[in-house]
């Protein structure tokens, strides 16, 4: 007997795997302490549409539980209400997630990155966000010993 198009058996879809351009779950920061550690202890690079916080070495868990293994670099996103309404915030988050997924290969396996969107990100296109992300990553990844700053006296 044929299945009706509106029946649950006809409409059920099974996802075999995530599309390759999606940032995998193990590559995302999820908990508040993880974000806090990166923002407080990491390097910062401000750009017109976003601010990057970069921590090259992941902190070791203090509790007796297992610590997060260094499976690869992780990224987290902060897109606050100042960026816009929920539709706008989710659009910006999707754009940033896609752009960061393409740049994760530049980070060492123990690194954490937090990308905070500024209100200007709402009106920015994907190309501008990509340029700001590239410039910010260049800045936070630059070795401090290779480019010493002139000291002010």
pLDDT digits (tens, 9 = 90+) for 2-34: 555 555 555 555 545 555 567 788 889 999 999
Report residue 57's pLDDT band, with 50, 70 and 90 as the boundaries.
confident
pLDDT above 80: residue 84: yes
Q: What is the pTM of this model?
A: 0.75
Cβ-count burial of 28 within 10 angstroms (0-12 exposed, 13-18 middle, 19+ buried)? Answer: middle
Looking at domain 50-58+73-141, which CATH architecture does it have? 2-Layer Sandwich (3.30)
pLDDT higher at 4 or 130: 130
What is the per-residue burial (b if ≥16 Cβ within 10 Å, else e) of 76-85? bbbbeeebbe
Residues 79 and 117 sit within 8 Å (Cβ to Cβ): yes
Residues 50 and 95 sit within 8 Å (Cβ to Cβ): no
Give me the residue spans of the domains in the chain.
50-58+73-141
pLDDT above 80: residue 87: yes
Which residues sit opposite 43 in a β-bridge? Answer: 54
pLDDT higher at 58 or 125: 125
């Amino acid at each position: 007997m044929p299945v009706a198009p509106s029946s649950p058996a006809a409409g059920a879809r099974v996802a075999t795997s995530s599309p390759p351009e999606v940032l995998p779950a193990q590559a995302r920061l999820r908990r508040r302490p993880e974000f806090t550690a990166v923002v407080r202890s990491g390097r910062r690079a401000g750009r017109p549409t976003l601010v990057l916080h970069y921590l090259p070495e992941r902190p070791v868990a203090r509790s007796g539980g297992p610590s997060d293994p260094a499976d690869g670099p992780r990224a987290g996103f902060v897109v606050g209400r100042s960026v816009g309404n929920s539709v706008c915030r989710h659009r910006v988050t999707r754009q940033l997630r896609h752009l960061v997924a393409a740049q994760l290969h530049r980070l060492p396996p123990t690194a954490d990155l937090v990308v905070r969107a500024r209100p200007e990100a709402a009106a920015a296109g994907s190309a501008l966000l990509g340029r700001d992300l590239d410039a910010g990553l260049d800045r936070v990844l630059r070795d401090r010993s290779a480019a010493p700053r002139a000291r002010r006296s």
